[in-house]
Structures are given as structure tokens and as C-alpha cells.
Amino acid sequence: MNENRAGYLEHEGVMLTEVNSVISSTPPGIFVDATYGYGSHYRNIKDNFSELDLLAFDRDIDVLNNSNSEIVHLNFSQISEYLINNNIDRISGILYDFGVSSHQLDNYTRGFSYSNDGPLDMRMNQNDEINAFEVVNKFNEIEIANILFQNSGEKNSRRIARDIVSSRPIESTQELVNVIKNSIGKQNPKYISQTIKRCFQSFRIYVNDELNEIQKSLNSIKNFVETNGVIICLTYHSLEDKIVKKIFTELTTSCYCDVSIPVCTCKNEQLYAYGKKKKIYPSGKEISKNPRSSSATLRYVVKL
């Protein structure tokens, strides 16, 4: 079987039932799937909401080449620009699934997984110039330490960065895994695994500019959503969730004035309200069926 195609066998998306519940009260119109991936959420929405016209985006070229759906090849920070250029001024809602999709993790040639040996790539958009090999082999020790600490809080960031630089060239994911293992020495196997996971996550976040992408897209899309429309975000680690939470707090705040001031002077306009719950987690049943969903958090807001 084509290695590239293998990762695109059908998977079940995270929290489909919960996403359906949120979407059920949105008005008819264009609904954006900002992160098509392997298309599970797209197909789910298409099958259950005939009143919605789906518009899908993904930054991964493999997604376009292995899907029967029509997908726009753009980063989600560019969605608002696409809407403007195509004279679309209103959407019913938008769904972001910020997780690394299964096809990216399962395809060793993409370099996302530390479980199988593969090239140091980690790019979600294969047209991007910077990949993990460039970062690991060409960035200086301070830059690498900062990437590890800022994107995962890795407490051994300086030591690992030093050992990465002294071990160059590092050409594969397993070579990088071995450097990290040797750097932290004999530890509890779970601790070693978590450290490797944090380091890979840090490099991946940097290579794909993931945190800035989230911030840019949410801030640029907020004015396109029509009344009762929704912004839905599925996050998978605290850095993603912190950004979404902060922006959603800003969108749902009506006044920034000090409580001691009797009359509002900030003139802030509240654009959105929270739904029934500020955050939703996957059920125990889903986690047992799909362990990768265990770290997921769903947040959403509704346009006023």
C-alpha cells in the first residue's frame, strides 16, 4: 500500500457528538472546516446538517492529494483573506481542530512521530522552508533551548539543547530521540517518554508557527460569523488552550472598566457569548476507544 495513502484510511474525529450538539443551533449558510485533516468532522457535518454549505481548508498538500472533497490549500490564518477575496462576508460558523491528525502521526515519512524512525521534517505545509532538520542542525544552542522551554516548559531545555548541538549532524527522528534519552540519563521510563514527547511537540510548534497561527486566525475570523453562529476550537495542550481561552474571554467581555466606576467609559462591544459550558471534555467511552482524544478540550462561543 502507498505509505502516503495509508494514513488517510478513515478515522473517527474527536468529539463528533459534542461538535454536533454545538452546531445544531447555528443558522443556515456557509460553515468552515478550518482544519480538514482526514475529513471526519467534514463528513460528519455534511451528513447531519444539510442546511450548511461546507467550505474546507488545510495546509497539508497530502490532504488535498488524498481526498475526494474540494479543499482549499491555505493555512487557517489565511481564511479571512480568502473570504474577502471571494466576496464572502458572512459564515454560519467555523470549526478548528488544532491537533496533529492521525495521518501525520502514522506516516513515518512526515517525521511527526517519535515512535518510528523517519526524516526530521514535521512540516504541516510541505511548501514551508523551515523543517525540523534545519532547526535541530542549524540553530544555535540558545535558540534551541528557548524553543524547548517556551513551547513545552521543558526544564532540561538547556542541557538537551547543548547535547543536540554537540551531537550534530542529527538526521532522523530516532537519532534525535537517542540524543534526548542520553541527555537526561537514567530516569523513569514514563518520564523519559514524556520528555521526548515535549521536545518533539516544541519543535513541531516552532516549525509550523502553530501558536501564532491560532491567534491570527481567531482574531481575523471573528467579524465574519453571523448572529447565532459559532466558533468552535478543539485544543490538545495547555498552550493552545490558553490562547483560545484568552481570545474567547475578550470576545465575551462587555466592559473593561474598573468596577468602582459607576458608568462604563471603555465603550467595548461584546461580540460573543459562551455556550452552555465554557469547556467540554471527551467522554470516558470515547477516550477508551480513541486514547489520542484524552487531551482534547472543546471550547466554543456564539455570536450575539
User: In whole angstroms, what is the distance from residue 16 CA to residue 145 CA?
Assistant: 38
- 209 sits in the region (left: phi over 0; alpha: psi -120 to 50; else beta) called left
Choose one of 157, 179, 210: the last residue of a domain.
210
CATH code of the domain containing 157: 1.10.150.170
Task: Read off φ and ψ for residue 246, nearest 5 degrees.
Answer: -65, -45
| Same-domain check for residues 198 and 140 | yes
Polymer length in residues for the chain: 304
Q: Is residue 255 part of a domain?
A: yes
pTM (2 decimals)?
A: 0.91
Output DSSP code: residue 186. S
Q: Establish if 110 belongs to a structural domain.
A: no
- Angle at CA of residue 83, ends 29 and 210, nearest 5°: 105
Range of 164's domain?
Answer: 128-210
pLDDT in tens, the chain (304 residues): 334 433 444 567 899 999 999 999 999 999 999 999 989 999 999 999 999 999 999 999 998 888 888 999 999 999 999 999 999 999 999 999 998 877 788 788 899 999 989 999 999 999 999 999 999 999 999 999 999 999 999 999 999 999 999 999 999 999 999 999 999 998 899 999 999 999 999 999 999 999 999 999 999 999 999 999 999 999 999 999 999 999 999 999 988 787 777 777 777 889 999 999 999 999 999 999 988 889 999 999 999 9
**Do 220 and 297 lie in a common domain?**
yes
Q: How many separate domains does the chain show?
A: 2
User: 223 to each of 206, 220, 226, 227, how far by Cα in Å?
Assistant: 28, 7, 8, 10
**Which residues does residue 31 pair with via DSSP β-bridges, in sequence order?**
54, 93
Burial of 167 per CB tally in 10 Å (0-12, 13-18, 19+) = middle
- Domain end point (choices 192, 210, 228): 210
- Domain shared by 95 and 237, yes or no: yes
Distance CA 303, CA 4 (A): 39
Residue 194 located in a structural domain = yes
Residue 236: count other Cβ atoms within 10 Å of its Cβ. Answer: 19
Alpha-carbon Rg for the chain, nearest whole angstrom, is 21
Q: Does 299 lie in the same domain as 237?
A: yes
Cell of 259: 468596577
